[in-house]
Structure 1
Amino acid sequence: MLEHGGNLDAAARHYGRPRSDWLDLSTGINPRPYPAAAPAAHAWHRLPEPSHALEQAACAYYDAPRLLAVAGTQAAIQALPQLRLQQQRRPAQVVVAAPIYAEHAHCWRRAGHAVREVAYADLDQAVRETSCEVLVLCNPNNPTGAMVAPEDLLRWAALLAGRGGWLVVDEAFGDTVNGYSVCAHSHQPGLIVLRSVGKFFGLAGLRLGFVGAAAPLLDALADWLGPWSISGPAQQIGSAALLDRPWQAATRQTLLTEGARLHALLAQHGIRASGTALFQWWPEAQAPAFHEAMARAGIWVRLFTRGAGGIRLGLPPDEAGWVRLQEALNRWSQRG
């Protein structure tokens, strides 16, 4: 199993510091989640049949013609390589943008597909090669925040569909970015779009996400995942969050402001970072040392060890967290 952010129990055990004494910046999850009401009693008692109300709320929020609810986008990330293998009866030639959320390449490789990791700047050339059957990317990218224009994505999807291929676009961090989603086009052959309720809404523990794709592929994916995949409480809480336009608008503005604040704070310490409203990332030359220094200060950050190495920081939850991060960065900058 790959290592991910949010592994605070492991940090607490390793450093001998209780969970309550940590500032966890290791994920890109909104630190102030949607204020979910308690679900109705029948959500716990009844088998969770598919919710039309949840699908309607999701389609309206994401501007999609049809969506399949899944138990977090991770469920789809794991299932799609298996489904592709089942449908084609042979491994595919898969291009995965790099760097990227590591589960994408991992799951395609684990299913037996031939995976090649390609830098974002070289994706257009990679798609033009007829050997490319599946292209997987995040938009915005996790962890760098890199973006691909929708017109390029749709052009790539058409190219791949013409040879029976797929374009998988993970838009898990797309809620604070206007004009880049291709969810509205997800009914087109070959295009698969993933959306997450965990990041922007801060409801990662709900395990709720959505897949947009052509109807035959969604039907096949639903059959692969099986019945009752979304719990009753997740259906009710997810529907409420997706319909709450005032909370969404206020939260989007807050996150954009705080994302700019984090970017500026890092710049004050000579760190040239990139990212989204929910996180900042940079290729840190002393990444393990930075990670260790923050951990000694009780701040848990995401360490990337592949390639040149890098660091990703999420948003502090309150002013005390901002002060704590500022002080730790001061000590890092003044080390000698």
Structure 2
Amino acid sequence: MLEHGGRLRAAAQRYGIAEAEWLDLSTGIAPYGWELPAIPAAAWARLPELDDGLEHAARRYYGCDSLLPVAGSQAAIQALPRLRERSRVGVISPCYAEHAHAWRREGHELEALDADTAERELERFDVLLVVNPNNPTGERLAPHTLLAWRARLAERGGWLLVDEAFMDCTPELSLARHCPLPGLLVLRSFGKFFGLAGIRLGFVLAEPQLLDRLAEWLGPWTVSGPARALAKALLQDKAGQARQRQSLLRDGQRLVALLNDCGWPPSGGTALFQRLVREDATALHEFLAARGILTRLFSVPASLRFGLPPDEAGWERLRRALIDYSKERP
């Protein structure tokens, strides 16, 4: 399996620091949420029902009538390559590595692209994979650009697959409201924005026929009853969503300002993370880890991704560590 952020237990063992003493900034998951509603006892005792209101709440939240709940968008990432015959797949890179890994594992031919190359050479591909906003670069592609690519691909039976895992704070850039369109597939993550990664829930937005094929392949009861009940309540909580969005946008800018104050302007990011490209990224990663601060290290190019601290103590701890490092390595 590929390596991801959030491997706190492994970091605790490696650096000899107890798990409870870490400031984990290695993921792009919201570090806070809101008070969770009670889960009905029936959700634990019975098999999940498909008419419990989750899909209705999700349709209203995403503005799309054609969607399928899955056990995290990762489940769809792994399954979708199995629904196409061998294809030529372009991947706007760098991006979340599980996409390329899943398509390559199923025997598809992959090629890394940037946005300009994709625009010029789209006709060479059957599938184009885009993470928007991009993880880890934070790059955003305009909806009109993506929709134009979708139309060109769909003419030949191709797909535009857009992973919108970090889109919730910028819904105006989402393609969700344009679904379903031929050849358009949109993945949405529930856990990142709502701060509930452990719930393992995501949604696929696409044409009904394609969702039927995906549902058949995944099988029944892919999302647990408690997860369905909890997600339904939060997807209906518009006031809570507004507060969460405001908090994340504010703290995302605070993280940009903190890095700028250290003389290290980030190269890009979203409300949930910022990316710092530095030749000494490995040294900075190790320096922070030795102080119980976990970041996500990337080797090509050498860079770190910082998530958001959960509280004022975390912000101050990060600030002091960055200042200490800048004194040692200006």
User: Which range, TM-score by smaller chain?
Assistant: over 0.9
Picking from 108, 113, 129, the partner of 1:113 is 108
Q: Distance in 2 between matches of 1:160 and 1:13?
A: 47
Counterpart of 1:296, as a letter, is A
The unaligned stretches of length 5 or more in structure 2 are none
Q: Distance in 1 between matches of 2:309 and 2:237?
A: 24
Q: Could you tell me the TM-score, scaled by structure 2's length?
A: 0.97
Mapped contact 2:33–2:244 kept (Cα < 8 A): no
What does 1:220-235 align with in structure 2 at a 5 Å threshold?
220-235=213-228
The alignment status of 1:277 with 2:310, answered yes or no, reads no
SS at match of 1:175: coil
After superposition, what is the alpha-carbon deviation per residue over 1:6-27, rounded to whole angstroms, capped at 9, x for unaligned?
1000000111110000000000
The CA deviation at 1:199 is 0.7
Counterpart of 2:208, as a letter, is A
The alignment status of 1:148 with 2:125, answered yes or no, reads no
SS at match of 1:5: coil
- 2:287 maps to 293
Structure 1 stretches (4+) deviating beyond 4 angstroms? none
After superposition, what is the alpha-carbon deviation per residue over 1:108-161, rounded to whole angstroms, capped at 9, x for unaligned?
11111111111234321232xx22110001111111110111011111111111
Counterpart of 1:63, as a letter, is G
Q: Distance in 2 between matches of 1:170 and 1:51?
A: 26
Counterpart of 1:181, as a letter, is S
Q: Distance in 2 between matches of 1:300 and 1:47?
A: 38
Q: Could you tell me the TM-score, scaled by structure 1's length?
A: 0.95
- 1:316 maps to 309
What does 1:1-336 align with in structure 2 at a 5 Å threshold?
1-84=1-84, 88=85, 91-127=86-122, 130-273=123-266, 274-305=268-299, 307-336=300-329
Identity across the alignment (%): 54
Q: How many residues align?
A: 328
The CA deviation at 1:272 is 2.0
Counterpart of 1:241, as a letter, is L
SS at match of 1:176: coil
SS at match of 1:17: coil
The unaligned stretches of length 5 or more in structure 1 are none
Alignment CA distance shift 1:138-1:51 (3 Å): farther
